[in-house]
Chain A
Amino acid sequence: DMKVTQMPRYLIKRMGENVLLECGQDMSHETMYWYRQDPGLGLQLIYISYDVDSNSEGDIPKGYRVSRKKREHFSLILDSAKTNQTSVYFCASSRDWSSAETLYFGSGTRLTVL
């Protein structure tokens, strides 16, 4: 069953708290992504991971970091969350490093930073 799983689905944090968003995939995909979705802005790439410990910044990496210690898991970390990081976060995966591949998305995490 091809699936990208995100946890948690909803999260409320206070400004300054640390946030950990987790993502898993069962397709042995090489490449994983973290996007955020904001109204009127579409999806913006935060980080991309080409494999274990091979991570690159996307278009909006400031304020975020990532960790990929196993191929099937990719974490997004917000150290000292800010209110402008309130958003819906999507994890995605694709088969390999080619950018011309279908992305498979998780169900999303709605993060509210108060």
Chain B
Amino acid sequence: GEKVEQHESTLSVREGDSAVINCTYTDTASSYFPWYKQEAGKSLHFVIDIRSNVDRKQSQRLIVLLDKKAKRFSLHITATQPEDSAIYFCAASRNSGTYQRFGTGTKLQVVP
């Protein structure tokens, strides 16, 4: 089955800088790649996703890039703010017949 690897377990950036979190996947048929955010002591919530028919998607300060050849996707957070500090999970799935499999999470710390 699908395996999603999240390469950075922790990441520290200065406020205002950009943060990049990278994930790879194994199933070439995967076509949906969401990202979820978990603030300290709280649950997960969806932040942005990308589907395989595009290679870039932006929502305000969040940018997701998808490289299907390399089976790699990444989350870029620009102009980071303290409230961006959280654990970010990437996930991948096909359109149907499977379920989302998650990476192990990246703890992002934005320092003043």
A positions within 8 Å CB-CB of B: 33, 35, 40-45, 48, 58-59, 90, 97-100, 102-108
The answer to whether A100 and B44 touch across the interface, beta carbons within 8 angstroms, is: no
Query: Are A33 and B99 within 8 A (Cβ)?
Result: yes
Q: Report 5 cross-chain contacts, Cβ distance below 8 Å, ordered by A residue.
A: A35-B102, A45-B101, A99-B100, A103-B36, A105-B44
B93 touches A105 (CB 8 A): no
Interface residues of B (CB under 8 A from A): 1, 6, 9, 31-32, 34, 36, 42-46, 49, 51, 89, 93-105
Please give me the 10 A-B residue pairs with the lowest Cβ-Cβ distance, nearest first. Answer: A100-B32, A42-B104, A99-B93, A43-B102, A105-B44, A105-B43, A42-B102, A102-B46, A100-B95, A107-B43
Q: Shortest Cβ distance from B89 into chain A, in angstroms?
A: 6
Q: Which residues of B contact A107 (CB under 8 A)?
A: 42-43
The answer to whether A106 and B97 touch across the interface, beta carbons within 8 angstroms, is: no
Q: Is the CB of A100 within 8 A of B51?
A: yes
B95 to chain A, nearest CB (A): 5
Instruction: Report whether A99 and B44 are in contact in the complex, using a CB–CB cutoff of 8 Å.
Output: no
When A42-B105, A43-B102, A90-B44 are in contact, do A102 and B94 touch as well, CB less than 8 Å? no
